[in-house]
């Protein structure tokens, strides 16, 4: 089965839940009309379905490394050239450097298509866009003028070089060093797990590298950020000499095999030329911009792969005939989509995917407000909300992506265990998203420590209040579905409020105990954020049905999906709160050497 972008749901989320009207009223977004967004979504959907999806299975065969040269799978180079020619890489960026200047809300929706159609392919522009945003924010005018036009167009791609074999996620252990060389630097060291660190789809690759300053302090405070190109450009932007860096190998992986994961060696012959971005010893703080960009994008990967797995499973369930209808007299066999357990699995996949999509798009709109709103206090408030929800989008959405892809195999039954069905690739591809850009455990620790405890719960308390404000509107609904959704959301948000109160009391005295259950808190916040948006969707759907909207099937399906989410996901809130508060009790007595 081929992929089809869920344009109807994407449009609904953009307009009704992420509130395109508010985004379009921001400075620089005045021309972003619903008609323009519809046209963009339609064209992105065509590109995903016609160009990227057909080479997804081909990409699973993997890339080839030959003495430092990496060849991507058949069709990837041609697809990438079409991607660049179509202007897809430039959607959210500054028009002064060739960007289209569209809101992050629109870019978020477009990016979902790439991740769903071909997750391995989508990783290349994902990192390139993060590198472009980083350079635009912190780079000198000279660097921006030389590099940004071709990075924004996609002619040159970008990477993020953080970790090393001895460091993992502990960047304080980074050993790659910089050596001053006149106005520039020489970079010496080795980096691992570099997505698209070497490939044949673009003529130049621009590496964003964390390295130690020559005389900086130990730990993360001594890290600086450098732009290190594969080829050093001439002043006119043409390619000059090859820099002193090379790909020494690529990893053999469980999934995303169409995306080369490189081991990069810098400075084997004296030092790779690097250009300082920003100030010395401020590299990690600057790199967090790219890291947070990537974390949101990885969360969107969870949405995309979940959508792809759901579409495949739905098509199979509607075609696969097996067994008679339960409770009926007709002995004829029916499609398995009529069996209650299969329906349960499909609605679980659909409802969680739609909730995760809504949250990712909502955060995209919040980014636009935090960047563009004319009122400083409003920008600060929305920036804090983005900070709170970024680890949730990354962690919760990728956990959902794995769950949905796993359920997709179950829907297929025995065929789901066969590679030719396509279902196994989705699960293998999905699995990495919970690991890279900071494991989900790291995201959860960041959430409870930095985003909640450090600010004494200010932003999460405001978010809880936002969720509770919806109760008045839900009370105006007439359907049994809305009554159930209202009750479950109210109960779930109370569990979040109680869990947050416990967190704020427990963290100062025993942060390890709070950290032990932090994954449960992150999942709790995610389910409630998704439930809040699904409740808003249900309210909108009921109103449209009352008004006699022509898209009645879509809105009836939205009500069913939102009700199922409330019945099966929001009901997890009480157990997640207990798990959060109690997980540390046993761990406090754990001796890893004796008890594990």
Measuring CA to CA, which residue among 408, 401, 402 is closest to residue 317?
408
Q: 18-45, pLDDT tens digit by residue? A: 999 999 999 999 999 999 999 999 999 9
| pLDDT lower than 70: segments of the chain | 1
Decide: helix, strand or coil at residue 158. Answer: strand
Per-residue CA distances from 481 to 20, 455, 470, 485 (Å): 26, 37, 15, 6
CA-CA distance, 180 to 269, in Å (whole number)? 16
Contact 125, 202 (CB under 8 A): no
Contact 102, 36 (CB under 8 A): no
CA-CA distance, 299 to 58, in Å (whole number)? 24
Catalytic residue among 437, 488, 495, 581: 437
Contact 259, 432 (CB under 8 A): no
Measuring CA to CA, which residue among 576, 573, 312, 564 is closest to residue 430?
312
CA-CA distance, 576 to 521, in Å (whole number)? 7
Burial 105-115 (b: 16+ CB within 10 A, else e): bbbbbbbbbbb
What's 471-517 look like in SS3? HHHHCCCCCHHHHHHHHHHHHHHHHHHHHHHHHHHHHHHCHHHHHHC
> What DSSP state is assigned to residue 164?
-
Measuring CA to CA, which residue among 133, 130, 125 is closest to residue 80?
125
Q: 563-585, pLDDT tens digit by residue? A: 999 999 999 999 999 999 999 99
Per-residue pLDDT at 587 = 85
Which structure tokens are listed for 308? 């792809």
- Go through the chain and tell me how many residues it has: 596
Contact 105, 23 (CB under 8 A): yes
What CATH code is assigned to 156-281?
2.40.110.20
Is the sign of the CA dihedral 376, 379, 383, 389 positive or negative?
A: positive
Contact 184, 243 (CB under 8 A): no
| Cα 176–Cα 182–Cα 187 angle in degrees, nearest 5 | 15
Per-residue pLDDT at 63 = 98
Whole-model pTM?
0.97
Domain ranges for the chain: 7-153, 156-281, 440-590
Is the sign of the CA dihedral 396, 398, 403, 404 positive or negative?
A: positive
| Beta-carbon contacts of residue 316 (< 8 Å; ≥ 6 apart) | 1, 411, 412, 415, 421
Identical topology for domains 7-153 and 156-281? no
Per-residue pLDDT at 395 = 98
Measuring CA to CA, which residue among 291, 300, 528, 251 is closest to residue 433?
300
In CATH terms, the fold of domain 7-153 is Butyryl-Coa Dehydrogenase, subunit A; domain 1 (1.10.540)
Per-residue pLDDT at 329 = 84
| Beta-carbon contacts of residue 427 (< 8 Å; ≥ 6 apart) | 255, 309, 402, 405, 406, 408, 409
Which structure tokens are listed for 187? 């970079």
Per-residue CA distances from 244 to 189, 271, 335 (Å): 11, 6, 60
DSSP-derived secondary structure for 18-80: S-HHHHHTSTT-TT--HHHHHHHHHHHHHHIIIIIGGGHHHHTT--EEETTEEEPPTTHHHHH
Residue 307 designated active-site? no
| Beta-carbon contacts of residue 401 (< 8 Å; ≥ 6 apart) | 301, 302, 303, 304, 305, 306, 356, 430, 433
């Amino acid at each position: 089965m081929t992929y089809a972008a869920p344009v109807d749901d994407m449009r609904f989320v953009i307009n009704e839940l992420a509130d395109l009207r508010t985004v379009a009223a921001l400075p620089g977004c005045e021309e972003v009309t619903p008609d323009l967004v519809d046209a963009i979504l339609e064209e992105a959907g065509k590109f995903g379905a016609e160009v990227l999806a057909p080479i997804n299975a081909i990409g699973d065969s993997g890339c080839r490394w030959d003495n430092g040269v990496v060849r991507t799978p058949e069709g990837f180079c041609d697809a990438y050239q079409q991607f660049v020619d179509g202007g897809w890489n430039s959607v959210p960026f500054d028009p002064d450097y060739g960007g289209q200047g569209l809101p992050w809300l629109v870019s978020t929706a477009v990016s979902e298509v790439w991740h769903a159609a071909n997750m391995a392919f989508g990783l290349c522009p994902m990192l390139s866009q993060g590198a472009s945003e980083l350079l635009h924010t912190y780079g000198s005018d000279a660097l921006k003028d030389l590099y940004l036009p071709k990075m924004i167009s996609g002619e040159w791609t970008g990477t993020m070089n953080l970790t090393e074999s001895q460091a993992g996620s502990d960047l304080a252990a980074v050993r790659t060093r910089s050596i001053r060389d006149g106005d520039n630097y020489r970079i010496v060291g080795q980096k691992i797990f570099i997505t698209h660190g070497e490939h044949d789809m673009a003529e130049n690759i621009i590496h964003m590298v964390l390295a130690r300053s020559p005389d900086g302090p130990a730990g993360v405070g001594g890290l600086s950020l450098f732009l290190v190109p594969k080829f050093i450009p001439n002043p006119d932007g043409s390619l000059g000499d090859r820099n002193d860096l090379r790909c020494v190998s690529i990893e053999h992986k469980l999934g995303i095999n169409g995306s080369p994961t490189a081991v990069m060696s810098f400075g084997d012959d004296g030092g790779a030329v690097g250009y300082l971005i920003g100030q010395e010893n401020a590299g990690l703080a600057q790199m967090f911009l790219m890291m947070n960009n990537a974390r949101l994008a990885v969360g969107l990967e969870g949405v995309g792969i979940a959508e792809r797995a759901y579409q495949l499973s739905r098509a199979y369930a509607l075609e696969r005939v097996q067994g008679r209808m339960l409770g009926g007299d007709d002995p004829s066999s029916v499609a398995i989509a009529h069996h209650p357990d299969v329906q349960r699995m499909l609605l679980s996949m659909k409802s969680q995917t739609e909730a995760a999509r809504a949250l990712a798009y909502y955060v995209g709109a919040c980014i636009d407000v935090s960047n563009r709103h004319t009122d400083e206090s409003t920008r600060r408030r929305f920036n804090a909300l983005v900070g709170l929800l970024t680890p949730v989008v990354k962690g919760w959405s990728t956990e959902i992506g794995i769950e949905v892809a796993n359920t997709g195999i179950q829907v297929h039954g025995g065929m789901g265990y066969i590679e030719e069905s396509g279902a196994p690739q989705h699960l293998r591809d999905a699995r990495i998203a919970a690991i890279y850009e900071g494991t989900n455990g790291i995201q959860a620790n960041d959430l409870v420590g930095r985003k909640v405890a450090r600010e004494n719960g200010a932003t999460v308390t405001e978010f809880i209040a936002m969720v509770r404000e919806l109760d008045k509107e839900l009370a105006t609904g007439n359907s049994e579905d809305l009554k159930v959704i209202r009750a479950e959301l109210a109960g779930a948000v109370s569990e979040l409020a109680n869990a947050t109160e416990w967190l704020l009391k427990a963290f100062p005295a025993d942060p390890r105990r709070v950290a032990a259950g932090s994954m449960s808190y992150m999942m709790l916040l995610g389910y409630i954020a998704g439930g809040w948006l699904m409740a808003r969707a249900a309210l909108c759907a009921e109103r449209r049905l009352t008004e006699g909207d022509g898209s009645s099937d879509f809105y009836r399906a939205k009500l069913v999906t939102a009700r199922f989410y409330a019945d099966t996901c929001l009901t997890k809130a009480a157990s997640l709160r207990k798990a959060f508060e109690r997980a540390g009790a046993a761990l406090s007595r754990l001796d890893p050497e004796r008890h594990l």
